[in-house]
A and B are shown apart, each in its own frame.
Chain A
Amino acid sequence: MTSIILLSVFGIANLFIGFLKSKRILLPLALLFLVVVFGVNLIGWNNTQTYFNNMLTIDNYAVAFTGIMTLSTLLILPFSQHYLQEDDQNLAEFYSLLLFALVGAIMMVSYENMLMLFVGIEILSIAMYILAGSDKRSLRSNEAALKYFLMGAFFTGILLFGIVLIYGATGTFNVTEIGTTQAMNDGVMNTMFVLGLLLVVIGISFKISAAPFHFWTPDVYEGTPTLFTSFMSTVVKTAGVAAFYKLMVAAFAASYATWFPTLIAITVLTLVVGNIGAVVQRSAKRMLAYSSISHAGYLLMSLIAFNERSDSSILFYSFAYSIATVAAFGVMKLVSDQRGDETFEGFAGLGKTNPLLAFAMTVSMCSLAGIPLTAGFFGKFFVFAAVVEASGLMWLVVVAVLMAAVGIYYYFKVVVAMYMHPAGNYEKVQVNSFTTFMLMLISALTILLGIAPALVSDLI
């Protein structure tokens, strides 16, 4: 709770600090705010509290996810010095909007009442709509914002409609009470409830860009300024999946049989569309957009497994995925800006000209592909483990294995370009030492979690 209040206050404070002449203080200050929030958040560990007449519950689940989302934001922000011009009039607003978005994300992992879930999604989404269009003079950025906003508003409507139908069927917004009602009726439910459940599933599937509700993803990711894309594909996705899982466990555990067929179809479709879609991309950024769809599929796999391994595997997977994605977008932005080439060929010869950047990119590609020694391997491992334990789903693991092999193909296209293609006319990419340090830090973290995964996986 404290972290939500603090972040809101910090966000507003940031807006006022924006009036100062020098904008240099904004980034260090935002980082400081996030460190404070990260620390304050930890106070809630093993100390479950509810707030506002059971609207919010801060339990270990919420604290763990808040922690990794705050950490991801902390790792994303330093890259802003490459994305945002220092003379930009709206610099303070960007930082504030990111902090506000994080508030929404935290509410999405700690809600107890479906209205809070809705409010959290809205707080997050509205900030993201603005940030998607923050590159005001770029046509693609404008297009992305409009697309994201129209589609987002539409699906938020669907979500809200679903919530209302469930309220009609059960008479409550409280997820635990919905769960209890369900359990008492022994899973028997009326049409209104089933329809509501389906609409809620569709609404959240859109937010985590699961197929077939993914059509906005490639265009929006491509058009949005890369800093905010990496926030979108990490924090937003983590919050979405965490909220999804919490909702299913608390409210709809008894109606597992009802939503299981729908969700398994969505999962398989997401895995296939994401991975096959990524193969045919020529732009590295679009490839990462499709890859983010595919990772939504892996995350949904552990949701579907629906057992005691699900929450920790979602936590670990989303963290491993988030840090690797942050590094990947970071390097990609540097390379594509300075070389003016967004395709894989833009990475040609990077291993020669910038060994450290190439190393960071290789580690994150290996992690996304799930190669051992990186966090991504254990991410996939825990997800597969959760699904295997849920009996009768071995075929889903086979599908996922096939798709993971496809994934290795397109992730390694980047690695091949970096190390095996000659640099040609491309020169060394200019990068300051702080960014290099951050990239090395992320790589070290990725490898550390690839050797000692228990650091995160044993949290919840």
Chain B
Amino acid sequence: MMTALLLFWPALAGILVLLIKGKGAKTVAFVAALVEFAFALFAVSGFDTLSAHAQFALNLPWIESAGIRFSIGMDGISLLMVLLTTFLIPLIVLSSFKHEYRSPNVFYALILFMQTGLIGVFVALDAFLFYFFWEVALIPVYFIAAIWGGANRVPVTFKFFVYTIFGSLFMLAAFVYLYFQTPGSHSSDVNTFYQLPLDAATQSWIFWFLFVAFAIKMPVFPFHTWQPDTYTESPPQASMLLAGIMLKMGIYGVIRWLLPVVPLGVSQWDELVLILAIIGIVYGSVIAIRQHDLKRLIAYSSFAHVGLIAAGIFTLNEQGLQGGVIQMLSHGINVVGLFFIIDIIFSRTQTREINNLGGITQTTPALSIFFMILMLGSIALPLTNGFVGEFLLLSGVFQYNNWFGGIAGLTIILGAVYMLRMFQGVMFGTKTANTDNFTDLTLNEKAVLIPLVIMVFWIGLFPNTFLSISEPAVGNLLNIINR
């Protein structure tokens, strides 16, 4: 029941928000998102961290004749993802308070509708239900980006939309095929899929059908071309939703619906995927160094970081997978924080060009500290959240292949280069015309950044709080994969 509550509460709240005209909409949306977070914390408190199985499960008939069921539940990995989503959405809503969007009721309702889609993806235990929420999460964010975005938003978001749907249709085709391989009167339950005795040749092509869908969403090189433009043209909240939570759908999809379902397919292609992911790491980082637009820079850095997560997951060892899970949390927190800081800078200076910025530290002690912590978290400095994830991921990749590990390790050096270059250009140096009257953080902005920074240190200092939640589930998945 808990899961169902988590799933439907945002949608119901969204409908309520839709009916509120004027400024009340954002407050109601914020309160609703906070309540949702409280539900998630309540779920954590009742969660048995020793069990690898889906908890708070609910299993109802949906399309009875076809054996398709409305089956939801959370194991450790799902719970962490739900926790991340419910933690970030109130902050994303709060971060938008400084803007006056037109038709605010629609804007905030769409964010809440998207939350239902995201939670649905993370808790679905039925393949078609998963696909259903996968698309349901996409539509609101497409509209948010395409209606409230920048000047060039229409073609850019359109490309994003068609591109991702194109990928997911292949996933649908693969699910339909798998569904018909299930014994008896067919079922699309996740555990039934895990037990399918498919031969290696079949798994090989199903792997690609599924992988394309997830790789576009993450994105993995060379499926990333939609990403930088979309992040840049979207309004800040949509960028946060896309980078902070939505790309985790792709990674989560790999963990839940690709690795255990077609393990033989994975063993045929894992090396290629690792190579692609590592190309992405280096390529994304190098391009990020060359960027002048802050948002594009973060977009490419996000692309590089996700490459490392993908590489770690496909090593199929515990470090890699655990590192991937914890790094999803860290990346979500850091990237939302960084996008928010860019938004703060942009709303005061009307520019995102590094060349037009500088000297902001002189008047803004609070902003400088928050920015620095988030940036260091992103570089993976020890004691910050990024360190834990990247350390585990890299040790996973090293176990797989030393060469791969060595090249993937470049991410830390290159990451430091582009992040420090950005920080230096924006915060230090002499003041420019744009940054002359730069004021420090308001209360509202602090309210967004403080929770994020707390989480940076929490994950950095006590990663076990989170690692222990996902550990049994990851172990269970590895058992299934290596069976």
Task: Judge if B158 is at the interface, Cβ distance under 8 Å.
Answer: yes
Residues of A contacting B199 with CB < 8 Å?
Answer: none
Q: A412-B158, A412-B161 are in contact. Are A458 and B177 (CB under 8 A)?
A: no
Residues of A contacting B131 with CB < 8 Å?
Answer: 372
| Chain A residue with the shortest CB-CB distance to B166 | A405
Task: Judge if A398 is at the interface, Cβ distance under 8 Å.
Answer: yes
Task: Judge if A17 is at the interface, Cβ distance under 8 Å.
Answer: no
Contacting A at CB under 8 A, from B48-85, are 62-66
Provide 10 A-B residue pairs closer than 8 Å at the C-beta atoms, listed in order of the A residue.
Answer: A377-B135, A381-B176, A384-B172, A384-B173, A388-B173, A401-B172, A408-B166, A416-B146, A421-B154, A458-B64
Task: Judge if A397 is at the interface, Cβ distance under 8 Å.
Answer: yes
| Chain A residue with the shortest CB-CB distance to B167 | A405
Residues of B contacting A416 with CB < 8 Å?
Answer: 146, 154, 158
**A373 and B136 contacting across the interface, CB-CB below 8 Å:** yes
Residues of B contacting A401 with CB < 8 Å?
Answer: 169-170, 172-173
Complex Cα gap A388–B177 (Å): 6
Task: Judge if B162 is at the interface, Cβ distance under 8 Å.
Answer: yes
| Chain A residue with the shortest CB-CB distance to B133 | A372
**B172 and A371 contacting across the interface, CB-CB below 8 Å:** no
Complex Cα gap A404–B65 (Å): 26
Task: Judge if A409 is at the interface, Cβ distance under 8 Å.
Answer: yes
Residues of A contacting B64 with CB < 8 Å?
Answer: 454, 458
Task: Judge if B346 is at the interface, Cβ distance under 8 Å.
Answer: no
**B63 and A394 contacting across the interface, CB-CB below 8 Å:** no
**B136 and A372 contacting across the interface, CB-CB below 8 Å:** yes
Chain B 167-210 against A: per-residue CB contact (8 Å), 1 yes, 0 no?
00110110011011000000000000000000000000000000
Partner of A405 from the list B63, B143, B165, B176 (CB cut-off 8 Å) is: B165
**A419 and B146 contacting across the interface, CB-CB below 8 Å:** yes
| Chain A residue with the shortest CB-CB distance to B143 | A419
**B147 and A420 contacting across the interface, CB-CB below 8 Å:** yes
Task: Judge if A6 is at the interface, Cβ distance under 8 Å.
Answer: no
**A457 and B65 contacting across the interface, CB-CB below 8 Å:** yes
**A372 and B132 contacting across the interface, CB-CB below 8 Å:** yes
**Chain A interface main SS type:** helix
Q: A371-B139, A404-B169, A420-B153 are in contact. Are A389 and B162 (CB under 8 A)?
A: no
Residues of B contacting A405 with CB < 8 Å?
Answer: 162, 165-166, 169
Contacting B at CB under 8 A, from A414-460, are 416, 419-421, 453-454, 457-458
Task: Judge if A74 is at the interface, Cβ distance under 8 Å.
Answer: no
Give chain B nearest CB distance to A376 CB in angstroms: 12
Task: Judge if A126 is at the interface, Cβ distance under 8 Å.
Answer: no
**B172 and A454 contacting across the interface, CB-CB below 8 Å:** no
| Chain B residue with the shortest CB-CB distance to A390 | B180
Complex Cα gap A416–B139 (Å): 13
Partner of A394 from the list B65, B139, B153, B177 (CB cut-off 8 Å) is: B177
Give chain B nearest CB distance to A361 CB in angstroms: 14
Q: A388-B176, A394-B177, A401-B173 are in contact. Are A457 and B63 (CB under 8 A)?
A: yes
Complex Cα gap A319–B437 (Å): 62
Chain A 149-165 against B: per-residue CB contact (8 Å), 1 yes, 0 no?
00000000000000000
Task: Judge if A385 is at the interface, Cβ distance under 8 Å.
Answer: yes
Residues of A contacting B158 with CB < 8 Å?
Answer: 412, 416
Complex Cα gap A454–B135 (Å): 20
Chain A 376-397 against B: per-residue CB contact (8 Å), 1 yes, 0 no?
0100010011001100001001
Residues of A contacting B143 with CB < 8 Å?
Answer: 419
Complex Cα gap A457–B169 (Å): 21
Complex Cα gap A40–B130 (Å): 41
**B177 and A454 contacting across the interface, CB-CB below 8 Å:** no
Contacting B at CB under 8 A, from A365-379, are 366, 371-373, 377
Interface residues of A (CB under 8 A from B): 366, 371-373, 377, 381, 384-385, 388-389, 394, 397-398, 401, 404-405, 408-409, 412, 416, 419-421, 453-454, 457-458
Residues of B contacting A404 with CB < 8 Å?
Answer: 169
Partner of A412 from the list B128, B162, B166, B170 (CB cut-off 8 Å) is: B162
Partner of B147 from the list A372, A397, A419 (CB cut-off 8 Å) is: A419
Residues of B contacting A409 with CB < 8 Å?
Answer: 162
Give chain B nearest CB distance to A163 CB in angstroms: 36
Residues of B contacting A377 with CB < 8 Å?
Answer: 132, 135
Complex Cα gap A401–B136 (Å): 19
Residues of B contacting A381 with CB < 8 Å?
Answer: 128, 172, 176
Complex Cα gap A368–B154 (Å): 21
**A385 and B63 contacting across the interface, CB-CB below 8 Å:** no
Residues of B contacting A458 with CB < 8 Å?
Answer: 64-65
New A-B contacts (10) at CB < 8 Å, excluding given A377-B132, A412-B158, A412-B161: A371-B135, A371-B165, A372-B135, A373-B135, A381-B128, A388-B180, A408-B165, A420-B146, A453-B63, A458-B65
Give chain A nearest CB distance to B416 CB in angstroms: 39
Residues of A contacting B62 with CB < 8 Å?
Answer: 454
**B154 and A398 contacting across the interface, CB-CB below 8 Å:** no
Residues of A contacting B63 with CB < 8 Å?
Answer: 453-454, 457
Give chain A nearest CB distance to B103 CB in angstroms: 9
Residues of A contacting B170 with CB < 8 Å?
Answer: 401
Closest CB pairs A-B (n = 6) = A405-B166, A372-B135, A401-B169, A420-B154, A372-B132, A388-B176
Complex Cα gap A150–B405 (Å): 71
Residues of A contacting B165 with CB < 8 Å?
Answer: 371, 405, 408
Residues of B contacting A453 with CB < 8 Å?
Answer: 63
Partner of A385 from the list B147, B161, B162, B176 (CB cut-off 8 Å) is: B176
Residues of A contacting B65 with CB < 8 Å?
Answer: 454, 457-458
Give chain A nearest CB distance to B130 CB in angstroms: 11
Contacting A at CB under 8 A, from B116-175, are 128, 131-132, 135-136, 139, 143, 146-147, 153-154, 158, 161-162, 165-166, 169-170, 172-173
Complex Cα gap A397–B143 (Å): 29
Residues of B contacting A388 with CB < 8 Å?
Answer: 173, 176-177, 179-180
| Chain B residue with the shortest CB-CB distance to A391 | B180
Complex Cα gap A372–B132 (Å): 6
Residues of B contacting A397 with CB < 8 Å?
Answer: 173, 176-177
Give chain B nearest CB distance to A124 CB in angstroms: 32
Give chain B nearest CB distance to A48 CB in angstroms: 21
Residues of A contacting B179 with CB < 8 Å?
Answer: 385, 388
Give chain B nearest CB distance to A18 CB in angstroms: 45
| Chain B residue with the shortest CB-CB distance to A309 | B66
Residues of B contacting A419 with CB < 8 Å?
Answer: 143, 146-147
Complex Cα gap A394–B206 (Å): 11
**B153 and A385 contacting across the interface, CB-CB below 8 Å:** no
Complex Cα gap A398–B66 (Å): 22
Complex Cα gap A120–B96 (Å): 61
| Chain B residue with the shortest CB-CB distance to A370 | B169
Complex Cα gap A366–B138 (Å): 13
| Chain A residue with the shortest CB-CB distance to B64 | A454
Complex Cα gap A312–B20 (Å): 42
Give chain B nearest CB distance to A403 CB in angstroms: 10
| Chain B residue with the shortest CB-CB distance to A405 | B166
Complex Cα gap A408–B165 (Å): 8
Residues of A contacting B162 with CB < 8 Å?
Answer: 405, 408-409, 412
Complex Cα gap A421–B146 (Å): 10
Give chain A nearest CB distance to B113 CB in angstroms: 10
Give chain B nearest CB distance to A449 CB in angstroms: 11
Complex Cα gap A458–B170 (Å): 26
Complex Cα gap A372–B128 (Å): 10
| Chain A residue with the shortest CB-CB distance to B179 | A385
Complex Cα gap A381–B168 (Å): 13
Residues of B contacting A384 with CB < 8 Å?
Answer: 172-173, 176
Residues of A contacting B177 with CB < 8 Å?
Answer: 388, 394, 397
Complex Cα gap A366–B153 (Å): 20
Residues of A contacting B169 with CB < 8 Å?
Answer: 401, 404-405
Give chain A nearest CB distance to B466 CB in angstroms: 31
Complex Cα gap A443–B136 (Å): 17
Residues of B contacting A389 with CB < 8 Å?
Answer: 180
Complex Cα gap A388–B128 (Å): 15
| Chain B residue with the shortest CB-CB distance to A387 | B176
Residues of B contacting A385 with CB < 8 Å?
Answer: 66, 176, 179-180
